[in-house]
Every structure is written in structure tokens, then in C-alpha cells.
Amino acid sequence: MPIVIDKDIPAYKILTGERIFVMDSERAFSQQIRPIEIAILNLMPTKETTETQFMRLLSNSPLQVNVTLVKTASYNSTHTEKQHLDRFYKTFEEIKNRKFDGMIITGAPVENMPFEQVAYWQELQSILDWTKNNVTSTLFICWGAQAALYHFYGIDKHPLKEKCFGIFAHQRIRDGESEPLMRGISDEFHMPHSRHTVIYARDINGVEGLKILAYSKRAGASVIKSTDNRQVFVTGHMEYDRDTLKNEYERDRAKGLNIKPPANYFVDGDMSRVKMNWSSTANLFYINWLNYYVYQVTPYDINKID
């Protein structure tokens, strides 16, 4: 089944060109199918790139998925055209009376700031609290994961001496072998990271209601979930495209920042060749989340989500 998006959004043309099955909303509404409703709160500055990355992953399941893009009202993005935001995005006020089967809250390039100093922190706190009773399962990504762990559990992030930047190996926790979210994923898998802070496993261990599913020696606790499966925290970026880290590296160098090339990323140091070894894990992870944590447990009557 396809992902359902507006046919005029840039992602529609990109994904169609990749032979990914997407459907415009007019055609989808004519079908007698209860689609899965997924909201994406996009906090990244490059919103068009980010929305396409997540839509690509959500399109790989046999489910029909409706996507609602959400933006903050307390902070206006300066990297995305206002026309795009006004046409394709909704504010929290516009969706707060709805229910969603799943929600994704993305990362944001603000990890060096205290949470309380982020311009939209109060609005984000309201959204986080709202997810508890209005979303079957919420997936938090990178800074979004750090923010949710801090808000719900009081777990703080820690600054790194050097940016965690590259592709890193992760170990699946052995006692989580029966965990549906990690089903089919190898004992060792890879994931991109790009951040200046880390969540230590020691701060999560022993916290009631949380469980670590995967860990990296370099990147810290990387996949965490609540024991009721309503919250999933991923501190990396499985959704990244082949050239995302390359583009970030070239951007930072152009700014004159002292940054090393992303680790374990370029083949033999050749910047024209990227070793993309995380895409199969990403696809399987999102299929597992949609199937086991959303589709199989969400009520048919979406208004009964609580």
C-alpha cells in the first residue's frame, strides 16, 4: 500500500521518480480503507529534505499511511519558504483536537542549548504532553529524543568534547532479542549520527518505564523505548540519505568550522564515494514500528485512542 501525500509537495515527485508507491489524497479518499494517520513534527531547518526522508521510510510498509506535517507556531523557520510551510504544514493548534496512530518528532540543530532556552520549548512541552493521550506510539529522533527523555524522565544530555559525526556500529541488547521493534535487525548494525551531545546508558539504566534496545560505544544509548511501547527514542538518524552527512560536512567547512570528515563514511577517504550501510536497517526498523507498535495496537476507531 502507498503513502498518501499532496501531489504538489516536492516529496511526491522525488519518491515517484524512485519508483516508490505514493498516492495523492484525492485518489486515496475514494478508497474504502482505514488508513494509518501519522503526524510528523518537523523541527529541522531543511524541512523539504527531512520530510522526504521520513516519507520514504513510511512508504515501505504494506499499510496505507496518511501523513500530516506539523510546524511550530512559536518559531518561524528561516530556511524554508513561507509558501511551502503555509501550504503543506499545520500548527499544533490546528491538529490538537485530532487523534493520530503514530507521530514522529524530528531532531533539531539546538543540542548545545539548554532545553529551556530553545525558542519553542514551551510549545514543544505542550505537544509532548498531548502525545500521551492522543497518539498510539510516538517516535522521537536525535534532539527530539533528548528533549522527550528530559521532559518525561528528567534525563539530561551531556556535551561531547568532539562532535559525534559519522556512521557508527551499534550492538543490539541481547535481552531484547524478542523485542518486535528490533525483529530481523542484526546483532550489530550501523546508524548515522550528527550531534554535539550524548545520552549515557548509565542515566537510563534503572529508570522505571524505560528499556535500552541498542547501544554504541561511540554514540551512547541509541535505541530506547518505554515499556508500554508508547514512546520510542532514537538518538541517531536512520532516515538520512546517502549524501546527508557529506552535505553537512561541506556546509560546516564553508562556514570555517573546525570539523573532521564524518567517521566510517567515505570509502578510503574518497569524498565522491559513500559507504551507505544503514538503509536496510532503517527500512526494517520503520516497518517494525508501523506494524507492531502502531497498526496492530491502535483502535480501528481512531477517536478511541487514549
Which residues carry out catalysis? 142, 237, 239
Joined together, the cell numbers standing for residue 187 give 546483532
Place of cell 517494525: 288
3-class SS letters over 259-305 = CCCCECCEECCEEEEECCCCHHHHHHHHHHHHHHHHHCCCCCCHHHC
Task: For residue 289, give the nearest of 13, 36, 92, 46 by alpha carbon.
Answer: 36
